[in-house]
Structure 1
Amino acid sequence: MPRTLTIATRGSALALAQTGMIAAELTRLTGVNVVITVVTTEGDTSRASLSSIGGTGVFASALRAALVAGECDLVVHSLKDLPTAAYPGLVLGAVPGREDPRDALITRDGLTLAELPEGATIGTGSPRRVAQLLSLRPDATVVDIRGNVDTRLAKVSSGELDAVVLAAAGLTRLGRLDAVSEFFDLALWPTAPGQGALAIEAREEDSIPELALIQHPATRISIAAERAVLAALEAGCTAPIGASAAIDGDTLTLTAVVYSTDGSSELGSTNSVKLPAGFFVSGAAAESGAEADALAVGLGTDIALQLLSDGAGELAELGAAS
């Protein structure tokens, strides 16, 4: 009889779509039966701003508690919602291939950010996006919004807002890319560490070898570098920080930018490291993966320390965001 795994997720349309994709891939590759169970988190029930209730980590806490309690075998998170601190008894079991990490602008008439009228109202729940929007359009009125993707899109179509900014990955997974007016280039507009990627957490003591088949090494290493920036800055998930990593051949390049909350100032840094020669070879030794992890974390840490040396802590009030 095929083995059965239970995966817990949030109940939003996006969370269910993401988890359904993981479940289908696990079944396709391994033959396991997958049961999906829904857990309600504080982030789903509260209408307060994310920064006031503890940041995007509020989406992860209830899922993690269910996993520790044995109510499920795995949980699926949007990786950008996952706090950088380790959670006792849990491990990051797999990071599948990343979707488009860019942010996207949605307007009623296909206008770009530059084309929106003076004083346009733009909705987002992210302090990073607020800072980025104001850095490019200081005349805009940026409105804090909550709600699922359809709720946010409706605020534009109804005329309540002129535009909203959403993650391209979520729109892709929900089949809503048709709504996008403009994609923001990562070189100009780095997004949240881990954006576009999913995290599959498991209990430390469990053996779930099937997860190795959906692990994507390039995504895992890129995410490790980006998240190391947040960890070294001791910043919360809602701090105005963008980080974008990319791999070209055997070179991992990371750019991180810290913004003032009003978007008037920013500090950025870019650096690269060479990954182990055998890292991307199928069946490569575990030592190669461990070395790559260490290099990625070191890269992110070094960039964060450079940013702190340049004054990033005072610029973004990181002590208040952590």
Structure 2
Amino acid sequence: MAQTKQISERIAKAANAEIELVPITTQGDTSRASLSSIGGTGVFAAALREALLAGECDLVVHSLKDLPTAEHPGLRLGAVPKRVDARDVLCARDGLTLAELPEGARVGTGSPRRIAQLRAARPDIEAVDLRGNVDTRLGRVYGDPSTGSGQAADLDAVILAAAGLGRLGRLDAATEHFSLGDWPTAPGQGALAIEVRRERGDRDLERALETIDHRSSRATALAERLVLAGLEAGCAAPVGATALVEDELLFLTASVYSADGTRRLTSSHAATPDSHSAADLAAAAHDVADRVVEELLGNGAATLVPPEEQP
């Protein structure tokens, strides 16, 4: 809701129109089961897409990392606003970093990728499956009474996305930011996706979407997500990817982990877009992703990544 409100304000200003927020509850919001057990891919998107197709709303705002990689026949990606911090952060008791946590510390996360990375970095630490909103997760570390859940602090730390904390004004809870080089994050993390019906809608809305679309962010997120698609992996798979546009090049690095963190396969490639047009950036994203996927599969990535289950 926080990120949707921020986008709605930008759309309202660009389109010179009033925007109504339509709250929708998804399976990902209500279930406390692990993401892998409830399907992972699409659990935050399916209900939103149904409402959009039914005409209950005109656009929906997703965290791009939660969106299935396969195109929906009735929907299209209307815009990708400028991406924010794609890193993961540690939120630990007593201001500790990951290296400073004691042996046997309990660290919460619901992401198979983060669990694999955590086990690779600190095999002596216990990874605890964790669901819930930001306040609920932080309450498991700090015993925050504002959650109203009565949950006592039972974890030493949690791992969260910097982007989510930032949008809620809670970055002060982070005790360590993990570098993308050592700790690549979910494809599309830090980016938002504004999804609309495939047929063109109101002209003012279309112009507003063009105004807030950020070409480089769209291209880098596309490159990362094409890795997932090429590996036939879901958004909950133990895959991390980082792309950036710098010095006229589009760089992409992707890593695939075994569930226990003992194996990591990494591939890095770059492509040169012919221009900064949306079409040329997209072509470069496809080029570099194809080469990264080919190298990862050639090195045995398919044995590490569970197949994607489309909703």
| TM-score, normalising length: structure 1 | 0.90
Counterpart selection for 1:28 from 3, 6, 13: 13
SS at match of 2:137: helix
Q: Which has the higher strand share?
A: 1
Instruction: Indicate whether 1:263 and 2:247 are aligned.
Output: no
- CA distance in 1 between counterparts of 2:39 and 2:60 reads 20
- CA distance in 2 between counterparts of 1:257 and 1:130 reads 14
The answer to whether the 8 A contact 1:250-1:276 is kept is: no
Instruction: Indicate whether 1:181 and 2:175 are aligned.
Output: yes
Q: CA deviation at 1:321?
A: 7.1
User: Equivalent residue for 2:306?
Assistant: 318
Q: CA deviation at 1:134?
A: 0.5
SS at match of 1:65: helix
Q: CA deviation at 1:28?
A: 2.2
The answer to whether the 8 A contact 1:76-1:198 is kept is: yes
Counterpart selection for 1:216 from 214, 217, 220: 214
User: Equivalent residue for 2:287?
Assistant: 298
Query: Within 5 Å, which residues of 2 pair with 1:63-142?
Result: 63-142=48-127
For the aligned residues, what is the CA RMSD?
1.2
- CA distance in 2 between counterparts of 1:216 and 1:320 reads 28
- Give the paired residue count: 297
Write the deviation string for residues 263-293 of structure 1: whole angstroms up to 9, x where unpaired: 011000101011223x1xxxxxxxx322221
- CA distance in 2 between counterparts of 1:56 and 1:161 reads 27
- CA distance in 2 between counterparts of 1:199 and 1:317 reads 25
Counterpart selection for 2:161 from 151, 162, 167: 167
- CA distance in 2 between counterparts of 1:318 and 1:311 reads 13
Q: CA deviation at 1:57?
A: 1.4
Instruction: Indicate whether 1:53 and 2:41 are aligned.
Output: no
- CA distance in 1 between counterparts of 2:126 and 2:62 reads 31
- CA distance in 1 between counterparts of 2:37 and 2:240 reads 20
4+ residue segments displaced more than 4 Å:
none
Share of identical aligned residues, percent?
A: 57
- Structure 1: give runs of 5+ residues left out of the alignment: 1-15, 280-287
Instruction: Indicate whether 1:157 and 2:142 are aligned.
Output: yes
User: Equivalent residue for 1:193?
Assistant: 187
Write the deviation string for residues 67-119 of structure 1: whole angstroms up to 9, x where unpaired: 11111100000000000001111000000011100000001111100000001
- 1:318 counterpart letter in structure 2: P
SS at match of 2:20: strand
SS at match of 2:36: helix
Q: CA deviation at 1:209?
A: 2.6
- CA distance in 1 between counterparts of 2:282 and 2:269 reads 16
- Structure 2: give runs of 5+ residues left out of the alignment: 144-152
User: Equivalent residue for 2:147?
Assistant: none
- CA distance in 2 between counterparts of 1:116 and 1:321 reads 35
The answer to whether the 8 A contact 1:43-1:56 is kept is: no
Write the deviation string for residues 109-153 of structure 1: whole angstroms up to 9, x where unpaired: 111000000011000000000000010000000000100000000
| TM-score, normalising length: structure 2 | 0.93
- 2:176 counterpart letter in structure 1: E
User: Equivalent residue for 2:200?
Assistant: 206
SS at match of 1:245: strand
